[in-house]
Structure 1
Amino acid sequence: MPEAPHPTSLLETLEAITGPAGLLRGADAAPMLADWRSLYQGAALAVLRPGSTEELSACVKACVAAGVPMVPQGGNTSMVGGATPDESGRQIVIALTRMNRVRSIDTTDMTMVVEAGLVLKTAQDVAREAGALFPLSLGAEGSATIGGVLSTNAGGNTTVRYGNARELMLGLECVMPDGTIWNGLRRLRKDNTGYALRHLMVGAEGTLGFITAAALRLFPLPREEAVALCAVADEAAALALFRRFRDQDEGAVRAFEYMSGGSMHLVLDHVPGVSLPLAERAQHYVLVDLASSRPQAGLRGLLESVLEAAMEAGEVLDAALAESVAQRAAIWKLREEHPEGQKRAGASVKNDVSVPVSAVPEMIRRCSEALQKLIPGSRPVPFGHLGDGNIHMNLAQPPGMAAAEFLARSHDIMDCVNEIVRDYGGSFSAEHGIGRLKTDMMEDWRGGAELAAMQAIKAALDPLGLMNPGKVLP
Structure 2
Amino acid sequence: MDLVAELVALLGGPHVITADADQAPYLQDWRGRYTGRVQAVVRPATTEEVAAVVRLCRTHGAPMVPQGGNTSLCGGATPDDSGKAVLISLQRLNHIRALDTDNDTLTVEAGCTLAEVQAAAAEADRLFPLSLASEGTCRIGGNLSTNAGGVHVLRYGNARDLVLGLEVVLPDGQVWNGLRALRKDNTGYDLKHLFLGAEGTLGLITAAVLKLSPRPRSVCTAWVAVTDPAAAVALLRRFRTECGERLSAFELMSQMTLALVLRHIPGAQNPLAEIPSWSVLVELSDTRVDAALDRILESVLAPAMESGAVLDAAIASSEAQRLALWGLRENASEAQRHEGVSVKHDVSVPVSRIPEFLRRADAALTAAFPGIRIVAFGHVGDGNLHYNCSKPAADENAELLAEWGGLNRIVHDLAHELGGSISAEHGLGQLKRGEIRRYKSALEMDLMERIKRAFDPDGLMNPGKVL
TM over 0.5: yes
Aligned to 2:287: 293
Aligned to 2:385: 391
Q: Output the amino acid matched with 1:95.
A: S
Q: Output the amino acid matched with 1:71.
A: V
The answer on 1:378 being equivalent to 2:372 is: yes
The answer on 1:13 being equivalent to 2:43 is: no
User: Deviation digits for residues 4-54 of structure 1, max 9, x if unmatched?
Assistant: xxxx72111111111223211221110110000011111111111100000
The answer on 1:249 being equivalent to 2:243 is: yes
Cα offset, 1:115, TM superposition: 0.1
Aligned residue among 58, 69, 81 for 1:75:
69
Give the distance between the partners of 2:12 and 2:124, measured in 1 at CA: 34
1:370/1:416 contact within 8 Å kept? yes
Aligned residue among 16, 23, 44 for 1:23:
16
2:341/2:397 contact within 8 Å kept? yes
Aligned to 1:443: 437
Give the distance between the partners of 2:81 and 2:333, measured in 1 at CA: 26
Deviates more, 1:166-175 or 1:231-240: 231-240
- Between the two proteins, the alignment pairs up a number of residues equal to 466
The answer on 1:348 being equivalent to 2:369 is: no
Aligned to 2:165: 171
Q: Secondary structure at the match of 1:16?
A: helix
Aligned to 2:312: 318
Aligned to 2:140: 146
2:252/2:279 contact within 8 Å kept? yes
Aligned to 1:110: 104
Give the distance between the partners of 1:135 and 1:182, measured in 2 at CA: 26
The answer on 1:357 being equivalent to 2:351 is: yes
Q: Output the amino acid matched with 2:296.
A: L
Deviates more, 1:268-277 or 1:295-304: 295-304
Deviates more, 1:78-87 or 1:303-312: 303-312
Give the distance between the partners of 2:439 and 2:211, measured in 1 at CA: 32
Cα offset, 1:408, TM superposition: 1.7
Q: Secondary structure at the match of 1:345?
A: coil
2:114/2:138 contact within 8 Å kept? yes
Aligned to 1:224: 218
Aligned to 1:199: 193
1:24/1:46 contact within 8 Å kept? yes
Cα offset, 1:397, TM superposition: 2.2
Using the size of structure 1 for normalisation, the TM-score is 0.97
Give the distance between the partners of 1:150 and 1:21, measured in 2 at CA: 28
Aligned to 1:274: 268
Q: Output the amino acid matched with 1:20.
A: G
Give the root-mean-square deviation of aligned CA atoms. Answer: 1.1
Aligned to 1:308: 302
Aligned residue among 134, 151, 154 for 1:157:
151
Cα offset, 1:401, TM superposition: 4.8
Aligned to 1:64: 58
The answer on 1:337 being equivalent to 2:316 is: no
User: Deviation digits for residues 359-400 of structure 1, max 9, x if unmatched?
Assistant: 111111111111112211111111000000001111122437
Give the distance between the partners of 1:406 and 1:24, measured in 2 at CA: 38
Q: Secondary structure at the match of 1:57?
A: helix
Give the distance between the partners of 1:21 and 1:123, measured in 2 at CA: 27
Q: Secondary structure at the match of 1:41?
A: coil
Give the distance between the partners of 1:279 and 1:167, measured in 2 at CA: 39
Structure 1 unaligned spans of 5+? 1-7
Cα distance change, pair 198–462 in 1 and its aligned pair in 2 (3 A): same
Q: Secondary structure at the match of 1:348?
A: coil
Cα offset, 1:63, TM superposition: 0.2
1:128/1:221 contact within 8 Å kept? yes
What is the identity percentage for the equivalent residue pairs of Structure 1 and Structure 2?
Answer: 53
Deviates more, 1:344-353 or 1:182-191: 344-353
